[in-house]
Amino acid sequence: MNRREAISQLSVLTAALASTQDSFSMTNRSNYQIGACDWSLHLNCNPEAFNYAKKIGLEGVQVSYNSKTDLNYLSRPENRQAILAASKRTGVKIASLAIGMLNEVPLKSEAKTVEWVSESIDAAKALGTNVILLAFFGKGDLRKDDAGKKVVTERLKQLAPKAEKQGIILGIESYLSAEEHIEIIEAVGSSNLQVYYDPRNSADAGYDIYKEIPMLGKRKLICEIHLKDNEFLLGQGTMDWPRIKGLLDESGYKGWAQIEWSQPKGKSVDETYPQNVSYAKKIFG
């Protein structure tokens, strides 16, 4: 083989290797559906969230189960029907539900919240979605609260059988570490209890998200994710979203990516969300 033939063969091998790598990358890359939280659109417990979501190019809406002014919003059939009608009319999906009021009326200390979660399972089933975010911030924060974690664990044990029967995933979103989330999930003993992962929250709490995502991902414990960078537009803050996306892909994650906030001070939803949607679709869509 002369020098020219050797170079030609090397070029062919290099091209073949590059093609194989590209094929592998495409095979392992997932396109997520992009939604947004209704509270971030300032339309919580409001069917109008679906009209706005369609306007800015979203595929789904994460719907609040209740609000300060209506603690049992989705428990009432007429409200479920209004949400279903809005989804059907616009073609925007009901991505998941969320009980953000647990930040103010905590599961760890208020018995009535058990009824909220139980009724939200019925609502999720009726609305054709299968993930419910359970929030643990503000008054519901579980950090350095062993007694609170114990109560939450026992209450989730009560709720898990119903979630399992209905095919609904309960997702814990909190400032706890991945290890602490796993401890609660193992104590409850249900595959229908998972983690609602928000990389920004975890980074703010001081955890290494690039270790946490693989840790939770290999156990298939991430039910859904939030995309936010606090007071920065997506892609303009400190979060390395392409790297996060790569780690999620490696774990086999295929769920929703829900935009939450990422709204600079003084800027309206109209000014910020079209940009956030565009960036989210570029990286995650």
Q: How many CB atoms lie within 10 A of CB 158?
A: 12
Farthest CA pair distance, the chain: 82
Looking at CATH, the fold of the domain delimited by 32-284 is given as: TIM Barrel (3.20.20)
pLDDT grade for 17, boundaries at 50, 70 and 90: very low
Average pLDDT value for residue range 231-235: 98
Q: Are 115 and 72 in contact (CB under 8 A)?
A: no
pTM of the model: 0.91
Residue 14 has pLDDT above 80, yes or no: no
Report the C-alpha gap between 234 and 4 in whole angstroms: 50
DSSP code of residue 254: -
Record the tokens describing residue 145, joined without a space: 């609260």
Record the tokens describing residue 89, joined without a space: 């009319």
Average pLDDT in the chain:
93
Record the tokens describing residue 136, joined without a space: 């643990």
Report the C-alpha gap between 101 and 181 in whole angstroms: 20
Residue at token pair 């790598």: 21
Record the tokens describing residue 216, joined without a space: 């939770």
Average pLDDT value for residue range 124-148: 98
**Percent of the residues in the chain that have a pLDDT greater than 90, as a whole number:** 89
pLDDT in tens, 183-229: 999 999 999 999 999 999 999 999 999 999 999 999 999 999 999 99
What distance lies between CA 234 and its chain's CA centroid? 15
Record the tokens describing residue 201, joined without a space: 């929250």
DSSP code of residue 31: P
Q: Which of 155, 61, 86, 143 is nearest to 116 (CA)?
A: 155
The SS3 of residue 142 is: coil
pLDDT grade for 9, boundaries at 50, 70 and 90: low
**Percent of the residues in the chain that have a pLDDT greater than 70, as a whole number:** 90
Q: Are 64 and 39 in contact (CB under 8 A)?
A: yes
Half-sphere exposure (CA, 13 Å, Cβ side) for 156?
Answer: 30
Angle at CA 32, nearest 5°, toward 278 and 221?
130
Name the burial class of residue 77, with classes exposed (0-12), middle (13-18) and buried (19+) by CB atoms within 10 angstroms of its CB: exposed
pLDDT in tens, 52-68: 999 999 999 999 999 99
Delimit the domains of the chain by residue range: 32-284
Q: Where is pLDDT greater, at 8 or 112? A: 112
Report the C-alpha gap between 91 and 217 in whole angstroms: 30
Strand partners, 235: none
Residue at token pair 């709720």: 159
Q: Are strands 193-197 and 169-174 parallel, antiparallel or unpaired?
A: parallel
How confident is the model at residue 2, as a pLDDT? 54
Residue 7 has pLDDT above 70, yes or no: no
Q: Are 261 and 100 in contact (CB under 8 A)?
A: no
What amino acid is encoded at 101 in this protein? M
Residue 27 has pLDDT above 80, yes or no: no
Q: How many CB atoms lie within 10 A of CB 39?
A: 19
Average pLDDT value for residue range 266-282: 98
How confident is the model at residue 19, as a pLDDT? 43
Residue 271 has pLDDT above 60, yes or no: yes
Q: Are 248 and 212 in contact (CB under 8 A)?
A: no
